[in-house]
Structure 1
Amino acid sequence: MFERVLIANRGEIACRVIRTCRRLGIHTIAVYSQADADAQHVRLADEAWPIGGPRPAKSYLRGEAILEVARRSGAQAIHPGYGFLSENTAFARACIEAGIAFIGPRPESIDAMGSKAAAKALMEKHGVPLVPGYHGEDQSADVLREQARRTGFPLMIKAAAGGGGKGMRIVRAESEFADALASAQREAAGAFGDTRVILERYVEHPRHIEFQVFGDSHGRVIHLNERECSAQRRYQKVLEETPSPFLDEARRAAMGAAAVAAAKAVDYVGAGTVEFIVGQDGAFFFMEMNTRLQVEHPVTEETLGLDLVEWQLRVAAGQPLPLAQEQVRAQGHAIEVRLYAEDPDQNFLPGSGKLQVLRLPAPSRHVRLDGGVVEGDTVTIFYDPMIAKLIVWDQDRPQALQRLRDALAACEIVGPKSNIAFLERLARHPVVVEGRIDTGYLDRHLDEFLAGDASPADRVLFAAAVAALLHDEGAAASDARHGADPFSPWARADAWRVGHAGKRIVALSLQGQRHEVEAHGHRGDYRLQHGEVVTEVRGARHDGETLGARFDGEAQRFPVRVDAARVTVHDAQGYRHAFERAAAFAWQSKETGGGNQVVAPMPGRIVLVKAQPGDVVEEGQELLVMEAMKMELALKAPRAGTIESVSAAQGDFVEADSVLVRFVP
C-alpha cells in the first residue's frame, strides 16, 4: 500500500479521500489555489502546497504544477477525485511517466471511454445498443448541422469530454441549433478545455440508470449494482438512490452484464460508471462511461458496506479486488441529495459568500454527510457551489425517504441562498415517492417544487410570531439578569405600559413579502392578529427545536428554529417557511436592478456581449452572457427600449450588483 498520496482536487471529494487515507495510515498531500488557502481540505491534509491562481485553469487544471508538487513532496500516487484532471489522458500518462501511480484507469481506457464520442464508437463495435446520433471526429459547423438534420429533432448536444450537465443542450427545432451549439461549445471549453460535441436523438421521458463497475490489474471486472439518477434538473443530478425502484431482477442482471462487458472491452482497472438511458418500456441504451469515481458513490457504499476509495487505493497498488461478483450483497436502500449554495426561486442562480450559519444533522448509521466546508467558510465564485452531500440509509425505500425528510428538516444555511426547501419538496413529491420520475420531469414541472410567492397559512405565521416573541422575551430576561438592576420592570419585553395592555408588532418577511402580526400578552400566552384573523395562543413553549402551543384551544407542534434575525417553521405537511425578522415600524427594500438597468446577479466573468449603445431591444432579449460557478447565465432586457450604455466587455470580471447595461429613461 502507498505511504504518501497527493489529492489533485479540492472541496468535498478531497476531504473524502483524506478521511480514507487517514484511516489506512496514509500520509496525505493537498494542493490549493489562492482562493482555497483556508479551505477545509487544506486544513485536513497532513501537508498542502499552493499551485496557482483562483481560476481552475490557473490551478487545479495545471497538471505540470501538480506533478511538480508530487515530486517535491515525495508522493507515490495521485488521486484525482472527480472533475478537473480525473479523466485527462495526458495527465494520467504524465503521472506514469514520472513514476507516480495514477489512482484511476489506464490512459488507454480513458482515451477509449473518457470521451463520449470514443466510447460510443467502441460500444457500437461491440454491439451495445446506442441511441441514434453522431459522434464523429469532424466538428465543423456545417457537418454538425447536417448530422443534426439526419439525427432528427428533438436532439441533445453533449460535450464530448463532459460531465455534470456542463455543455449539454436540448434542441427541438433546426432554427435553434446554431445558438445552442455555440453555447454548449463555450461552456464545454470553460469546463473541460475541449469544444468537441456529440449529437444524440433525444429520448422522451427516459430514466437515467448507471452501474458502478470496478476492475483490477489481474483481469477481473465486477459491478457493484446500479444507481437511479433520474431526478435531474438541466442534466444535473439532484437525487440519486440505490436500488432503482424501476428495475426488476432480470433487467438488473442484463444491465449489469452489459456494464461489465463495456468495462472489459477496454481492460478497465479501477472505479468507473457505465451510464444508460432507459426507456419507459425498459429498453436500455449505452449513454457514456465515466472513468472515475462518481459524486453519488456514497449510496453504493451505504448499501454494500464498502469504502470505494479504499478499493481504488488497493487496486492502484496492484492488489486484487476484495470481492467476487457473487459475493456482492446489498442491504437496504440509500438516497443522496446535494446541498448547494443556489437560489431555486431565481432560476437556481448559484450563490457565494460566507456561511454564517451551517447546521446539519448529526451523523449516524442512518445519516451520512460528506462536505468540504464548515460554518464560517466562504463559498467562492470560482468552483462548484456544493456545500455538502447528504446521504441517508434505511431498510427499505419508504423508510429511507422519511430519513431524508427528517435530515433535511434539521439543516439550516444562512449566508448564501440554499436549495434545502427545494429538496424538501422533492422528497415529498408523488413522482419521487412513487418512483415514477424521469430525467425531464423537474424541468417540465419545476413550479411544483418551488415555494413561489404564496402567502403562508395564518397558523404558520402565528407560530413564527410566537417563536419570535418567546425568543425576544428570553433574550430580554437574560440581559436583565446580567444588568445593573435585574428586577427592573423596564427590562421586560412584554410592551407593558401604564394605563393600557401592552401591544407589540412582530414583523416578518417571506419571499420579499412583509407580514405584520399584532401581539398582546407575555410568557407564552398571547392574543395575535394578522389582518382580520385573530387567534388566542396559550401555553406556548419552545425548546430550541420545537414549538408547542394551543391555538384557539387546539394543541399543535411545529419544528421551529429562531434567532434575532430569522424564524424557520416547518408546517404540518413538512414544508419549510424561512421568515426574516424585520423592523416593526420600518420597511426598506433593496433595489438590485430596475427597469432602466441590468446588473450582475453575482460575481463572474463576461463571456459574450450582444448589445451596444443605441441598440433597440425587446423585453427578454439576451444582452450579455456571464460565466459564474462554472455555469453560463444569460442576462436579459427587463423591458423594451434603447440601450444607453454598456459597461462591460468580453473577458471582464464584474462584481455582484455592478451595473452592466443602462437604458435610455
Structure 2
Amino acid sequence: MISRLLVANRGEIARRVFRTCRDLGIETVAVFSDADAHMPHAAEADHAVRLAGVKPADTYLSVEAIVGAALGTGADAVHPGYGFLSENAAFARAVLEAGLTWVGPSPEAIAAMGSKIEAKALMAEAGVPVLPGFTAGPGYSMDDLDRDLDAVSGRMSGSAPERRIPLLVKASAGGGGRGMRVVEPADDLPGAVESARREAEAAFGDGTVFVEPLLRDARHIEVQVLADRHGTVWALGERECSIQRRHQKVIEETPSPAVSPALRTRLCDAAVTAAKAIGYVGAGTVEFLVKDDTVAFLEMNTRLQVEHPVTECVHGVDLVELQLRIAEGARLPESPPAPSGHAVEARLYAEDPARDWLPQSGTLHRFDVPGVRARFSPLPHDAAHGLRLDSGVEDGSEIGVHYDPMLAKVISYGADRADAVRRLATALSKASVHGLVTNRDLLVRVLRHEAFRAGDTHTGFLTEHADALAAGPHGAGAPVPAAEAQAVRLSALAAALAQAAANRAAATVQAGLPSGWRNVVSQPQRAAFEETEVAYRITRAGLRAEGFPGTSLVSATPALVVLETSGVRHRFAVARYDGVTHVDSPLGPIRLTPLARLPEPVEHVVPGSLLAPMPGTVLRVEVKPGEPVAAGQAVVVVEAMKMEHRITAPAAGTVSALNVAPGRQVEAGAVLAVIEEQK
C-alpha cells in the first residue's frame, strides 16, 4: 500500500494528483523550482522539497534531484504526472532501483513507446496501421532528403518522388507540439529538422526527430487505455482532439462527434492491441490520425494525458485513483463502466493573440470561473451536468517565462454534446481572468462556431475558419473579443464612471459632489483607453454620454457600475490594476489599457530595432553585423517557456547593430538588433 507519494511535476497536474491522494488518505510530497516557490502546488502538499534553480534540466528534469527528494522525505511511491520525466524510462528505472513504487508502466514499456520511431515499427509488426516515415539525424542533407522522399512518396502513392509532399517533423520523445514543424516545400526540410532537434533537446533532453507525410485536415483521435498487472486492458472510448494550434491541443471532447460505432470498435481494438503488444500497465493513451477510411497510429503516450478529465466525466471514474490502485497491485473489473453523456475541455493559455500568440508572463490578479462544481476531481456521481476546473494558478499567481503558459483546464459535462458545449462557452465568457492576455476569446468563438457545433472539426479547423475567428480590433490575425464594439465602449464608459467614483471616495474636500461638477457647463469629462475613448457629463438631469443615446446611470461605485440602455439594465464589475482595467459584464469580458493624461517620457528606440518580445535566453544569432537580410528572415532566436521564438526582419535591409550573443539572458523590450531598411 502506498502511504506517501511524491509527484514529480508542477502546476495543475500536481494539484490534481494531490486531490485524489487526500481522498485516499495518502500523504503527499511536492517538488518545486525557485521560480515555483510560491505557486499553489508547492503549498498544498504535506511536504515540499526545493529543487534549486529554475531551468528544467536542473529541476523537474533532474532524475537525481527528484529521487533524492523522494528518499529524503520518506516517500514510498512516485507519480510522474505528464510532461517532464513522465515518459523517461531511465527515470522510472531509477525510481524502482531506489526501492520505490512507480505509478506507471514498466521502464521497458516506456522505452518501447518513448521513441516514436521504434514505436511505429513495433506497432506495424503488431498489425496496428501506421504512416511511412524516416529518421532525420544531425547534419541531415539534401542528398538524404532525395533518398527518403523516394521511399515515402512511393509508399504513399506509388509514384516517383514528389518534392511538394507536405511533411511533418516530429520529436521522437515528448509531445505537446514541442519539436514539431510542418514543411512544405520539402526543400525546407534540413533547416526545419535542425530547429526541431534543438527545441526537442531543450524540452525533453532528446533531440531525435523523424519525418512522416502530413495528412492535412485529418482528425486527431485518441483512445484512453488502462491496464492492470493481471492481463486486463480497458479501452475507455475515444477523445476528439482535432482543435489544435501549432500542433498543440486546444479543445478536446468525448465522445467524438464523427466516430461511428464501427470506427470506435476499430480504434479501441487497435489501442488494446498496442497496449498488449508491450505488456502495458497503468493509464496510457494511443493516438491516431483519421481521415476518411485511413486510420494511422501516431504515438502512444505512456502516462496520464492533459485531457483525461473528459474521460473521467463520461465514464464516472477517477483515473488517478485507478493508477494508484493498479500500482498497488489491484485488479480491474473485466470491463470498464459504460459511458454516459458528453464532456468538453478547453485549455486556457496566457498568450497574446495580437502578437502571434506569444506566451505571456506577469501577475494573474484574479481568476474565477463561475458555476464550478468540482476541482481536480470527477464530478459527483449523481451529477447530470456540471463544470470542473483543474488549474495550476490562483489569484495573485506569478506566471513566469520558464514553463508552459497553460493556466487552467475548464471542463463541461452535459447530457449531450450541445448541452456541454453551450455550458463551456458560457462559463468561459463569464470567467474573470485579470492581469494577463489569454486565448479565452478564441476558445469561446470556436465553441460557438457553427462548424464546431455541427461536429465538422479537423486539425486544420483554425486555419480553415481564420476569417471568422480572427481579424479583431486587437490587431490583424487576432481573435475578435466575445463582446461587440458597442459593448467595448459601454464597458469603457463603466470603467470611467467607476474611476470617477473612486476619485470621489478618496476626495478630502466636497466628496459629495459628482466628479467633474461645474456650475457652468463646460467640456465633458473624457476617459481615453488604447481601445476606445468616451466622453460624458454628470448633470442635474443625470448622465449625458456622447454616443450613448438612451443610456442612464443607475448607480456607480469604484467596483460596480449599473447602466440602463434602452430600458435594459447592465451590471459592470470593474477592477483596476497597474496599467490595465478589467470590466466583466453579461456583454462580455473586456480588457482596457488606460492612456495617461500626461505620459511619462519614454526612451527613444532607433527605427528598425528588433525587441525581445519577452524575457528569455538567446539560442542563436542567425546574422552578422553589416549582413544584408530579406523581409521575414530570422535574425535572432530566443527560447522562452520551452519554445523557440524567431525574431525576424520586418523588411529587407542591412544589420546595422547586433547586441546579443548565444546564451545571453534578455529582458522583455531589450534591443536585440537593428535593421537599417533599404531605401
Taking structure 2 as the reference length, what is the TM-score of the superposition? 0.89
CA-CA distance at 1:629 after TM superposition: 0.4
- Correspondences of 1:506-525 after superposition (within 5 Å): 506-510=527-531, 515-521=532-538, 525=542
Report the counterpart of residue 318 of structure 1 in structure 2.
329
Contact 1:494 1:522 survives alignment (8 Å): no
Of 487, 491, 495, the residue aligned with 1:464 is 491
- In structure 2, what residue type is equivalent to 1:363? V
Report the counterpart of residue 627 of structure 1 in structure 2.
639
- In structure 2, what residue type is equivalent to 1:285? A
Structure 2 CA distance for partners of 1:313 and 1:642, relative to 1, 3 Å:
same
- Correspondences of 1:232-251 after superposition (within 5 Å): 232-251=244-263
Report the counterpart of residue 357 of structure 2 in structure 1.
348
- Correspondences of 1:582-601 after superposition (within 5 Å): 582-583=595-596, 585-586=597-598, 595-601=607-613
Report the counterpart of residue 36 of structure 2 in structure 1.
36
Cα distance in 2 between the residues matched to 1:132 and 1:522? 74
Cα distance in 2 between the residues matched to 1:55 and 1:138? 25
Cα distance in 2 between the residues matched to 1:65 and 1:444? 46
Contact 1:102 1:316 survives alignment (8 Å): yes
Cα distance in 2 between the residues matched to 1:301 and 1:523? 59
CA-CA distance at 1:410 after TM superposition: 2.4
CA-CA distance at 1:302 after TM superposition: 1.2
Q: Does 1:639 align with 2:639?
A: no
CA-CA distance at 1:134 after TM superposition: 2.4
Cα distance in 2 between the residues matched to 1:329 and 1:537? 54
Structure 2 CA distance for partners of 1:120 and 1:472, relative to 1, 3 Å:
same
Of 178, 188, 198, the residue aligned with 1:176 is 188
Contact 1:234 1:443 survives alignment (8 Å): no
Contact 1:217 1:320 survives alignment (8 Å): yes
Structure 2 CA distance for partners of 1:542 and 1:432, relative to 1, 3 Å:
farther
Contact 1:593 1:599 survives alignment (8 Å): no
Q: Deviations over 1:200-248 (max 9, x none)?
A: 1111210001000000001110111111000001110000011111112
Cα distance in 2 between the residues matched to 1:329 and 1:547? 49
Of 387, 407, 419, the residue aligned with 2:427 is 407
Structure 2 CA distance for partners of 1:646 and 1:502, relative to 1, 3 Å:
closer
Report the counterpart of residue 151 of structure 2 in structure 1.
150
Q: Does 1:496 align with 2:517?
A: yes
Structure 2 CA distance for partners of 1:386 and 1:458, relative to 1, 3 Å:
closer
Q: Deviations over 1:478-521 (max 9, x none)?
A: 446xx5x6xx3x542342212226722132322xxxx3222123
Cα distance in 2 between the residues matched to 1:559 and 1:379? 30
- In structure 2, what residue type is equivalent to 1:407? A
Structure 2 CA distance for partners of 1:642 and 1:477, relative to 1, 3 Å:
closer
Q: Does 1:535 align with 2:541?
A: no
Contact 2:316 2:337 survives alignment (8 Å): no
Q: Does 1:425 align with 2:457?
A: no
Of 583, 591, 602, the residue aligned with 1:578 is 591
- Deviates most, 152-161 or 470-479: 470-479
Contact 2:621 2:635 survives alignment (8 Å): yes
Q: Deviations over 1:134-193 (max 9, x none)?
A: 259999545466214432411111111131011111112122111111111111111111
CA-CA distance at 1:663 after TM superposition: 3.5
Cα distance in 2 between the residues matched to 1:295 and 1:534? 46
Structure 2 CA distance for partners of 1:139 and 1:613, relative to 1, 3 Å:
closer
Report the counterpart of residue 118 of structure 1 in structure 2.
118
* Unaligned ranges ≥5, structure 1: none
- In structure 2, what residue type is equivalent to 1:333? H
Report the counterpart of residue 128 of structure 2 in structure 1.
128
Contact 1:332 1:393 survives alignment (8 Å): yes
Cα distance in 2 between the residues matched to 1:626 and 1:465? 36
Structure 2 CA distance for partners of 1:136 and 1:262, relative to 1, 3 Å:
farther
Cα distance in 1 between the residues matched to 2:646 and 2:540? 51
- Correspondences of 1:240-279 after superposition (within 5 Å): 240-279=252-291
Of 202, 206, 211, the residue aligned with 2:218 is 206
Q: Deviations over 1:544-593 (max 9, x none)?
A: 99976443xx3345564323452436686xx654223334x456797896
CA-CA distance at 1:301 after TM superposition: 0.8
Report the counterpart of residue 231 of structure 1 in structure 2.
243
Contact 1:622 1:635 survives alignment (8 Å): yes
CA-CA distance at 1:112 after TM superposition: 1.3
- In structure 2, what residue type is equivalent to 1:521? I
Cα distance in 1 between the residues matched to 2:149 and 2:592? 49
Contact 1:120 1:135 survives alignment (8 Å): no
Q: Deviations over 1:507-546 (max 9, x none)?
A: 2322xxxx322212369942222xxx46231354579999
Structure 2 CA distance for partners of 1:395 and 1:546, relative to 1, 3 Å:
farther
CA-CA distance at 1:439 after TM superposition: 0.5
- Kindly, what percent of the aligned residue pairs are identical? 43
* Unaligned ranges ≥5, structure 2: 154-164, 374-378, 380-385, 475-479
Structure 2 CA distance for partners of 1:542 and 1:333, relative to 1, 3 Å:
farther
Q: Deviations over 1:28-72 (max 9, x none)?
A: 111122222222111011111122310000111110121122222
Structure 2 CA distance for partners of 1:103 and 1:294, relative to 1, 3 Å:
same
**SS at the partner of 1:402?**
helix
Cα distance in 2 between the residues matched to 1:206 and 1:509? 40
Cα distance in 1 between the residues matched to 2:595 and 2:68? 54
Q: Does 1:54 align with 2:54?
A: yes
Q: Does 1:185 align with 2:197?
A: yes
